[in-house]
Amino acid sequence: MEKIALITDTTSDLSEEIINKYGINVLSFRIIYSDREYKDKVDITSEEVYKNFKFEIPTSSMPALQDMEELYNKLEREGYTHAIAITLSTGLSGIFNGLKLTAENHKNIKSYIYDSKSVTIGEGVLALECAKLIQSGKSFDEIVKEIPFIKKRIHMFFVVSTLEYLKKGGRIGKLSGTIGQFLNIKPIIAVNEEGTYYPYDKVRGRKQSINRLLEIAKDITSKCKCSVYIAHGDAELEARDLFEKAKVLPNVVSAHFCGCVTPVIGVHSGPGALGLVVLEQN
């Protein structure tokens, strides 16, 4: 009998309820200040990260290879025969390669490491759909075969109040940041096939950027039945307003308010981030 473990990382923004319900193994990114280091979601909260911005904007790093090794040792002790990992995009982090190296050292567990080419709830929804398949009794090979098709059904977009934090984290070009600052241009950000950020659209002003997210949701949901997911970075009121409007769109069969993004996502997106994921149903 197969015993399949599911692995992801804290940038997937899965709630504790979902993690516990499906027994998902979550690797913590690191948040690094000049004089200290924290494990994402373990030693520091999103609120603390935002509060500390006025003193220092930290950097981040992928989960330690030692953490990956310890996780695989734990899975072996618990009798797992297979493991599926959904990671943050390789365009944004080295976690995918780190997990592949770790998995190669544990031949007793047959592993499939998948680059989500996404981030936050885009990555999280993919991991959640895999968790549901494992729980339903699907085999390792069946799930691995299904993952690319799930990925094609996931659409993720987000807006930020300023490009300053993405720029400082090396996630977006300086020119784009300067243009946005002076013209009040707000890009609707998505992740391309290489797993890096790109401007899906551009509008003027904060209010218009949020309205555009809703328009995008309307367009996708007009074509088929969908689930929608909303997350935010220190922008709860705007996120809840968007959620209330998105959940009543035609063809929306379920809506999920995911709350505040994990601390490490907050480091790079800054306060004011709003994320939308639309998952097309089969």
pLDDT reported for residue 184: 83
Tens digit of pLDDT for each residue in 158-194? 999 988 888 877 666 544 665 666 678 889 999 988 8
Sign of CA dihedral 104, 107, 109, 112: positive
Segments of the chain scoring below 70 in pLDDT:
170-182
pLDDT reported for residue 179: 62
pLDDT reported for residue 282: 79
pLDDT reported for residue 173: 57
- Read off the pTM: 0.94
CA gap 23, 268 in Å, rounded: 28
pLDDT reported for residue 55: 94
Strands 226-233 and 273-280: antiparallel
Give Cα separations from 153 to 78, 125, 146, 225, 279 (angstroms): 33, 10, 11, 11, 6
pLDDT reported for residue 185: 85
Gyration radius from the chain CA atoms: 19
The pair of three-digit structure tokens given for residue 30, joined into one six-digit string: 């690191």
Contact yes or no for 83/7 (Cβ under 8 A): yes
